[in-house]
Chains A and B, each alone.
Chain A
Amino acid sequence: MTIAPKAPRKLTMKQRYEALTRDLDWEPSYVDKNDVFPYTEFEGIKIHDWSKWEDPFRLTVDAYTKYQAEKDKRLYAVLDGFAQSQGHLSLTDASYLNAMKLFLQGVTPLEYQAHRNFAYLARHLNGPGPRFAALCQSIDELRHTQTEIHTLSNYNKYYGGFHNYLEQHDRVWYLSVPKSFFDDAVSAGPFEFLIAIGFSFEYLLTNLLFVPFMSGASFNGDLPTMTFGFSAQSDESRHMTLGLEAIKFLLEQDEANVPIVQAWIDKWFWRGYRVTALIAQMLDYMLPRKVMSWKEAFELYFEEQMLGGLFQDLAFYGITPPRHVDDAIGEKEVLSHQVYWTLYQFSHAAAFTTTFPDVDAMSWLSENYPGTFDKIYKPLWDKEAKNLAAGGRHFARGLPQLCQVCQIPMLFTEPGDPTTLCQRDSVYNGEKFQTCSNGCQWIFEREPEKYVQAWLPVHQIYQGNCGGPTVPDVLAWYGIEEGDGGEYKGSVDNNNWNTWHNLADHSHIGSEA
């Protein structure tokens, strides 16, 4: 006898989430719970009731896959259309792609690292709610890695700097900034990782990271990156929620968690903020068509939304704004100029190019930085203009001292004094270590045993671990080829771009060097 299947009864979103995500959990009966979840006590965080973790998105596997598939379909339709229509020729200028080279080399490998560590959380957190949210984020991050590579691979057919990003991420000096940041996070415990990446990176700083790249893409004709950015950001709003839920959950579970979480916020705000130094210069100097200044982005996305909104919410739990936040605010007028001035002089050893800001860019910088640009930075460029006129484009010959914590060359200045370099010394086990700021020094002195192990690219070159003693030796070891770095004007990309745009016959495009 066959029984006709009953018509499915439709569950509400809440019921489906309870049934399909929460209720699939079980209590271990013949294995000790601490053996199943061995990593959630050593950091000193106390959790009394894992069921109190909320996931407002109430995701189930079927809903998750359905919407993610739709997001991918939309993105790949755009990628195909752009490639088929020779879309790369409609960019504002080939120099725009320097921002994307930096993205592929610096950010894409971090997505993969995030994928791995969220997979670890999806296994090792005790509660089914956070485990499932972490699983979704882990799959998201893998999707971001893949879609970023696919999005930018089209440019690799025509432009330099895209061909060896994975090896470069592990080796090249400026890429040790994002790499060491994430290595620091994945080598921390699961709760610190959640505050480091889930909260500080995904909630506090995500808009400063992604919105500049997406708006830059939108203004400069880069349709695929803009579409990828939207696709990724739609996941990002879920990641922000996971970060915010994580912090609220920890703070509500036990009062003893509050000082631990506060110290992590203090540390990870500054760690993340230092990585955004690369974004600041990208926004103010690398985009041929400007979007908004770093200062404006910082004021809107950080000062207004985070300090004005979020931290007032967290004050309820006794959480205060991050230590050293005033130093970050104080730097907003000088940060991008200091970083680009340094990258300009070192791009002969980079997989992107730099160039002298043109007249329009200079006046934009003056307008957007009325307090600092004309007074402090324009004179530097005026001096370089004389070098250029005399045929001597300036590249730095030596190697810079790097900060032991953020690994950025020691180019930052004293708080409130933009003409005096900031250099902090700390002694550990009889050895002296240098940091670039009060924030990085505080982080070093809190955990010196961790940061003395830093793989500092400049030290490694001097120790003979990077291919040899000369610049060409090191560049060969970096996998940097002719046309990847140096001055933009007269570069392979620049020459190809000019040829492609002046040529009547376009049929050979892409078959050049």
Chain B
Amino acid sequence: MSSTAAPTRPVGVDIQESETNRSVVEAIELTNVDCTVQHIPGIVRITAPGRLVITRESVEARLGREWETHEFQLAIVSYFGHIKEWDDDEIVIAWDH
């Protein structure tokens, strides 16, 4: 176990693979340029160094309709990291320390 600082230690989220969530995944990829996307059966796993952001604006742009951030509850299967922020406009997953 090597010691890595919070800004680069990986965080991630597992999303259920579905039609609606494809737009969510694409939006996350656009917002987080350094993220890694992995497809495992039924699940899309997105990891990023230090921080992962999901914005309402980018999801709505891909989805072509209104999307409230609460709706992410229907997509998320699991995550690792800490949910630092979840408001009307964005969800942020990052480590605190």
Contact = CB atoms under 8 A, between A and B. Distances in A.
B55 interface: no
Interface in A38-64: 56-58, 63
A214 B42 contact: yes
B73 A238 contact: yes
A12 B80 contact: no
Nearest to B69: A13
A309 B9 contact: yes
Contacts of B97: 312-316
A313 B81 CA distance: 9
Given A308-B9, A312-B3, A316-B97, A234 B76 contact: yes
A71 interface: yes
A312 B4 contact: yes
Contacts of B75: 234
A237 interface: yes
A71 B71 CA distance: 11
A361 to B, nearest CB: 19
A240 B79 contact: yes
Given A219-B41, A309-B9, A312-B9, A12 B87 contact: yes
Interface in B57-88: 69-71, 73-88
Given A13-B87, A13-B88, A57-B83, A206 B78 contact: yes
A58 B86 contact: yes
A234 B74 contact: yes
A421 to B, nearest CB: 30
Interface string A333-356: 000000000000000000000000
A282 interface: no
A207 interface: yes
B11 interface: yes
A14 interface: yes
B42 A215 contact: yes
For the complex, would chain B's binding face be called helix, strand, loop or mixed by DSSP majority?
mixed
A307 interface: yes
A218 interface: yes
Contacts of B53: none
Nearest to B2: A308
A237 B41 contact: no
Interface in A56-103: 56-58, 63, 67, 70-71
A258 interface: no
Contacts of A63: 70
B78 A309 contact: no
A151 to B, nearest CB: 16
A57 B3 CA distance: 29
Given A67-B71, A67-B73, A226-B42, A309 B88 contact: no
B11 A309 contact: yes
Contacts of A12: 87-88
Given A56-B84, A309-B95, A312-B3, A234 B77 contact: yes
Given A67-B70, A316-B97, A237 B42 contact: no
Contacts of A226: 42
Interface string A215-250: 100110000001000100110111011001000100
A146 interface: no
Contacts of B83: 56-57, 241
B96 to A, nearest CB: 6
A67 B71 CA distance: 7
B6 interface: yes
A67 B96 CA distance: 28
A210 B9 CA distance: 24
A315 B85 CA distance: 22
A207 to B, nearest CB: 6
Given A13-B87, A219-B41, A244-B82, A237 B3 contact: no
Contact of A234 (B11, B73, B80): B73
Contacts of A206: 78
Nearest to B76: A237
Contacts of A240: 78-79
A465 interface: no
A307 to B, nearest CB: 5
A13 B3 CA distance: 36
Contacts of B3: 312
A404 B49 CA distance: 43
B68 to A, nearest CB: 8
B77 A316 contact: no
B1 interface: yes
Given A12-B88, A233-B77, A308 B1 contact: yes
Interface centre among B4, B77, B81, B97 (most CB of A within 10 A): B77
Interface centre among B2, B80, B84, B87 (most CB of A within 10 A): B80
A-B pairs with lowest CB-CB distance, top 4: A316-B97, A56-B83, A305-B80, A233-B77
19 contacts: A12-B87, A13-B87, A13-B88, A56-B85, A57-B86, A67-B73, A230-B42, A233-B77, A234-B73, A236-B77, A237-B78, A244-B82, A305-B80, A306-B80, A307-B1, A308-B2, A309-B11, A309-B95, A316-B96
Given A57-B73, A248-B96, 4 more contacts: A236-B78, A244-B82, A312-B1, A321-B1
Interface of A: 12-14, 56-58, 63, 67, 70-71, 206-207, 210-211, 214-215, 218-219, 226, 230, 233-234, 236-238, 240-241, 244, 248, 291, 303, 305-316, 321
Interface of B: 1-4, 6, 9-12, 16, 40-42, 69-71, 73-88, 95-97
